[in-house]
Amino acid sequence: MQFQEFLQDLDARIAASKVTGFWKPEDKERWINKSVVRACNYARWKFLSHHSTQEIELEPDGTIKEDYYLPFDYKPGGMILLKVYDPVTGKSRKHFKVDTDSYEAKTYTYERVYSVVGDTYFVNLNEITADSDVAGMEGKIIDLFYKRRPVKMIEETDEPITPEEMDEAIIKFALAICLAKSPGRAAEATKEINEAHVILQQIKDREDEEPTTVTKGQARSRRWG
């Protein structure tokens, strides 16, 4: 469901509930986005695990670029696995996360490491790549497996990262926010929340019966072009 459809549905629910008061469009937009986050936080959903790739780049001096932006939908602290192409084996190999101080001081015990600072991750491939292989690393792949965060919907055609089957629960959460702000409607707000929880629990129960998977695909970042 697109953002505009969420808002239209919410408007219809508010009208049907005969809620008094004037709510600004930005209020309802905020409620929808907040409800998407609430649905995502309800459980450890499989759809939040994602796979993205980044091409290795070379610096002007011919060395391998060390710093790269994290995917735009990366959840802080959500790195599951980072693998980088190895020219010796021709396959991707796991890199281990270390803290920034250890990375900068090179006091780590692993050979292959990376570190995350803000919205950037660092992986020093120059240390583990033979000089003869450096040029050939350009364009090779860094694999990122991570937990996604909901990206705020702004444009009318924006869609949430949640699956379509969660749309009803999201609308109910948003309506509950509206009802909770209306005098004497707290019980109705609680009812909407409880019904949303039932829907999400049913979805989670079905998900748990399915094999574990990681969503694959190229996560786009405006910073990646």
Question: How high is the pLDDT of residue 21?
Answer: 72
pLDDT digits (tens, 9 = 90+) for 80-121: 999 999 999 999 999 999 999 999 999 999 999 999 999 999
Q: Report CA 173 to chain centroid distance, whole Å.
A: 20
State which amino acid sits at residue 183: P
Average pLDDT in the chain = 91
Helix (H, G, I), strand (E, B) or coil at 115: strand
Question: How high is the pLDDT of residue 216?
Answer: 47
Q: Cα–Cα distance between 36 and 108 in angstroms, integer?
A: 39
Question: How high is the pLDDT of residue 36?
Answer: 98
- DSSP letters spanning 66-87: -EEEPPTTEEEEEEEEEEEEET
What does the block give as tokens for 203?
A: 């979805």
